[in-house]
Amino acid sequence: MNLNSDFTARVVQHAADAAWTPSPLPGVDRRMLDRVGDEVARATSIVRYSAGSRFDEHVHHGGEEILVLDGVFSDEHGDYPAGTYLRNPPGTRHAPFSREGCTLFVKLWQFAAGDLTPVRIATSTAAWRPGLVPGLSVMPLHEYDGVSTALVRWAPDTRFDMHVHPGGEEILVLEGLFQDEEGDYPAGTWLRNPRWSRHTPFTGPEGALIYVKVGAIDAPFMPLPG
């Protein structure tokens, strides 16, 4: 299956416009944002666990990245409330579940082969750093081999200079309204801008909170099997 698999193209999608599709296990559904492969795939998705749903124990051969959007996600290692950022490196295994239900932003098979450090960050209590312009605050989440992931909080009426993303940029709008010269992106919007894309982002009176990954387009991730 190929979905938004042309990584030279710009993609803008409101996650709520994507259809829920069932996973192999009852009670776990997905809104697919991009995908290369079938059930084993390089994939970006919104994943919804209904209350009491669970997956059998499985191995993430290509790694798994998770941002908990709402509810509480759990596995045998702990409970992860909304705002938790997780990285399960290649070769890790777990049996995930949710007692009360949850919604996740999930990326699969998007790890470099040497990126083997687990990450657990409670973003609700982690420290923010000043951004490059007044009104921006940044919470670094992960960096490896030129691929960087962060949360960025935009105060109301903040504007950034025009800039270029040599390795591309991916954004999930978590709160508020994010904007640039191409349009307006309310909470729930997912954007993927190709290599060497440029824009001049800003916010209005609402401000915004966004998840941002840069440098990942054409990054040397572990190859899919086969």
The CATH fold of domain 2-122: Jelly Rolls (2.60.120)
Contacts of 203 (CB under 8 A, 6+ apart): 135, 154, 155, 156, 157, 158, 159, 176, 177, 178, 179
pLDDT single digits (tens) 156-187: 999 999 999 999 999 999 999 999 999 999 99
Q: What mean pLDDT value characterizes the chain?
A: 95
Structure tokens at 135: 């009104």
- Amino acid residing at 75: D
Q: Is the CATH code 3.40.50.2300 the one for domain 129-214?
A: no
CB atoms within 10 A of CB 36: 15
pLDDT band at 67, cuts 50/70/90?
A: very high
Tell me the domain boundaries of the chain. 2-122, 129-214
Asked if the model's pLDDT at residue 8 lies above 80, the reply is yes
Question: Which residues on neighbouring strands pair with residue 144, listed in sequence order?
Answer: 147
pLDDT single digits (tens) 181-207: 999 999 999 999 999 999 999 999 999
Shared fold status for 2-122 and 129-214: yes
Supply the pTM of this predicted model.
Answer: 0.97
